[in-house]
Amino acid sequence: MEIFGGLEHTVRETEPLAPHTWLMLGGPARFYAEPTCRDDLAEVVRRARENDVPTRLLGGGSNVLVRDHGYDGVVINLSAPAFSEIRVDGNELYAGAGAKLSHVVATSVREGLAGLEHLVGIPGSVGGALHLNSGSRSTDIGQWTRGATVLTRDGELITRQSNELVFSYRQSSLDELAILDAKFLLEEEDPAELTRRLQKLWIVRRANQPSGERGTCCMFRDPQGVSATELIEQVNLKGTSVGRVTLYDRDPNFLLADPGASSDDVLKLMDLVRERVATTFEIELDAELQIW
C-alpha cells in the first residue's frame, strides 16, 4: 500500500470485484478506492498517475464483466454521499455521478419533471449511464443532459457545457477518467400523470427483461437498424448455456449467471452467439458489456 500510504481510509488492497458488479463474477482489483470527497479522489488519481497504476471507474457495475483474474490497477467507486447528491431547482435536476439512476428517476417523477421516467428499471449509477448514454427505445439520458463536471486523467476538473457534449447510441463524449456530476433540463408535467406513465413503463420492462435480479447482463449493442435480440432469436440460440451461464429466454440478448459461474463462461457464450450471428447474417455484434 506504499503507493496509497496515508489514504487507508479510502483505498483497500486486493478487493474482490464480484460483489460490486451486477453479474457477481470475476477476480479482485489490486486496489479499490471509495473517495469521500473531491480532494480525496484527486489525491487517489494523482498517486495512481505518478506510479503508473491503471485506473478505472466503476458505477453500479451493471454493464461490466471483470475477468476471472481480476484487474491489476485501481478501481474507483463514487458511491459516497459527496458524489451522490440529487437536487431539483425549477426544471433542472442536478445529480452526482454516484447517485443511483433509479433514485434520480423517482425524484424527477415526484417533482413533476418529465423525461427521465423512460429510464425506469435501468440499473446502475448516473455516471455509468452518462458514460454509455444509457436509454430505452424512446429516449436516452443524453437527450436531457445540459452539462457535466469531469475529472481528466491529468487531474483537471472541467465543466462541459451542453454544446460540448455529444451523445449517440450507447456512446457519449464523456470519456474522461471520471464523470462527477451532471445537470438535466426536464419538462414540467403533472406528477400523478407521470407516475401512471412510470408504472406502465415499469410493467412493460419487467415483462421483457430480467429486472431486479443480480447475475444478469445485456451482452450486445443493436447493430445499425437491427435488434441484437431478434438476430439471436433467429439463430435459435434461446436457452443455450455454457457452464452455468444461460441466455435469458424472454430476451436472449441478456444472460443469466448462476452461482458458481465464471467470467470465462460468459465470454465463451458471447463468442458462440457472435459466431452464429456472423455466420448466418454476416453481421458482427459489438459487445455492450464492458470487459475488464
Q: List interacting residues with ligand FAD (CB under 6 A).
A: 22, 56-64, 78, 97, 122-125, 127-129, 131-132, 134-136, 178-179, 209-211, 216-218, 290
Question: Residues 29, 18: contact at Cβ < 8 Å?
Answer: no
Q: Of 95 and 179, which CB lies nearer to ligand FAD in the complex structure?
A: 179
Shortest CB 129 distance to ligand FAD, Å: 4
Contact 213, 237 (CB under 8 A): no
**β-pair partners for 31:** 13, 74
The nearest distance, CB 176 to ligand FAD, in angstroms, is 7
- Residue (156 or 190) nearer to ligand FAD, CB: 156
Work out the angle at residue 100's Cα, subtended by the Cα atoms of residues 262 and 19, and round it to the nearest 5 degrees: 25
Per-residue CA distances from 261 to 9, 136, 175, 265, 288 (Å): 32, 29, 31, 7, 20
Kindly tell me which of 179 and 242 has the beta carbon lying closer to ligand FAD: 179
Q: How far is the CB of 14 from ligand FAD (least distance, A)?
A: 20
148 near 183, Cβ under 8 Å?
Answer: yes
What does the alpha-carbon distance between residue 234 and residue 231 come to, in Å, rounded to a whole number? 5
| Whether 110 is catalytic | no
Q: Tell me if 173 sits within 8 A of 164, measured CB to CB.
A: yes
Q: Which of 49, 160, 170, 274 is catalytic?
A: 170
User: Which residue lies nearer to ligand FAD by CB, 112 or 135?
Assistant: 135
> In this structure, what C-alpha cell is assigned to residue 265?
463462461
Q: How far is the CB of 228 from ligand FAD (least distance, A)?
A: 12
Q: Give the helix, strand, coil percentages of the chain, each rounded to 5.
A: 30, 30, 40
Q: What are the two backbone dihedrals, phi and then psi, of residue 79, each rounded to the nearest 5 degrees?
A: -85, 0
CB nearer ligand FAD, residue 54 or residue 239: 54
Catalytic residues: 170
